[in-house]
A and B are shown apart, each in its own frame.
Chain A
Amino acid sequence: MHSAATVTGVRDATVSSSRSSAILFDGVTKRYRDTTALDSVSLELETGRTVALLGPNGAGKSTAIGLLLGLLSATSGTVRTLGVDPREAVARGRVGAMLQSSSLPTGSRVRELVELVRSLYPEPMPTEEVLARAGLEGLADRGVEGLSGGEAQRVRFALAIAGDPELVFLDEPTVGMDVDSRRSFWADMRRLAAAGRTILFATHYLDEADQAADRIVVLDRGRVVADGSAADLKTATPERTLRFTLDGAEAGYLRNLDGTVAVDVRGEVVTMVSRDSDATVRALARSDVAFANLEVTGPSLEAAFLALTGRNADA
Chain B
Amino acid sequence: MLALAMRAASGNSFAAFLALEVRRALRNRRYVIFTIAFPVILYVLYTAVIPASGDGTIRGVAWNLFFLVSMATYGAIGASMSQATPIAVERVGGWITQLRTTPLASSAYVLAKLVSAVLLTIPALVLVALAGIAVNHVALPPARLLELVLTLAIGALPFAALGIVIGYTLDADSAQGGMVLTFFGMAILGGLFAPVDAFPEPLATIATVLPSYHLAAVGRSVVAGALPAVGDALVLAAWTVGGGVVAAWRFAVAGARARG
Contacts and interface: CB of A to CB of B under 8 A. Distances in A.
Given A73-B259, A116-B17, A119-B12, A105 B103 contact: no
Contacts of B100: 69-71, 90
B97 A99 contact: yes
Interface in A120-166: 120-122, 143, 156, 159, 163
Interface in A177-218: none
Interface stretch (B21-29, B60-68, B134-142, B217-225): B21-29
Interface string A87-110: 000111101110101111111100
A107 B13 contact: no
Interface stretch (B72-80, B88-96, B181-189, B192-200): B88-96
Interface in A53-72: 66, 69-72
Given A32-B260, A73-B259, A103-B93, A115 B16 contact: yes
A91 B103 CA distance: 4
A112 interface: yes
The binding surface of chain B is classed by DSSP as helix
Given A115-B16, A119-B16, A119-B17, A107 B105 contact: no
B115 to A, nearest CB: 16
B102 interface: yes
B28 A107 contact: yes
A91 B24 contact: no
Contact of B16 (A102, A116, A143): A116
B24 A106 contact: yes
A91 B23 contact: no
B16 A97 contact: no
Nearest to B4: A91
A225 interface: no
A237 B67 CA distance: 81
A196 B121 CA distance: 47
Contact of B94 (A95, A102, A112, A159): A102
A119 B13 contact: yes
Nearest to A121: B103
Interface string B243-258: 0000000000000001
Contact of B102 (A93, A106, A107, A112): A93
Interface in B2-24: 4, 8, 12-13, 16-17, 20, 23-24
B27 A107 contact: yes
Given A107-B28, A108-B24, A97 B103 contact: no
B235 interface: no
B175 to A, nearest CB: 14
- For the complex of A and B, 4 pairs with smallest distance between CB atoms: A102-B94, A103-B93, A107-B24, A119-B16
Interface of B: 4, 8, 12-13, 16-17, 20, 23-25, 27-28, 86, 89-90, 93-95, 97-98, 100-105, 258-260
